[in-house]
Amino acid sequence: MSTRGSGPLDLAFHHVLTCPCGDTLTAATEDEIVEVSFAHLRERHPELAGDYGREHILAMAQRLVRP
């Protein structure tokens, strides 16, 4: 394992959530993916929006290396 600082490496990651409807949502930070996902739920799946919390969104989102 490298002992270099990990700060700048964080910039190489993003959060990706693939909604069951087929839409792929992406964001740079955890807070942003939660925000983007709730906006999508409210717009496309209002009947589900009330059932999901931040922890559900983060459980479904993947932290991936940015292409």
Contacting positions for Zn ion (CB under 5 A): 19, 21, 23, 44
Judged by beta carbon, residue 14 or residue 17, the one nearer Zn ion is 17
Residue 24 in contact with residue 14, Cβ under 8 Å? Answer: no
Distance CA 35, CA 28 (A): 11
Judged by beta carbon, residue 5 or residue 22, the one nearer Zn ion is 22
Instruction: Give residue 7's Cα distance to chain centre.
Output: 20
Judged by beta carbon, residue 21 or residue 65, the one nearer Zn ion is 21
- Provide, rounded to whole angstroms, the least separation between the CB of residue 24 and Zn ion: 10
- Whose structure tokens read 């559900």? 56
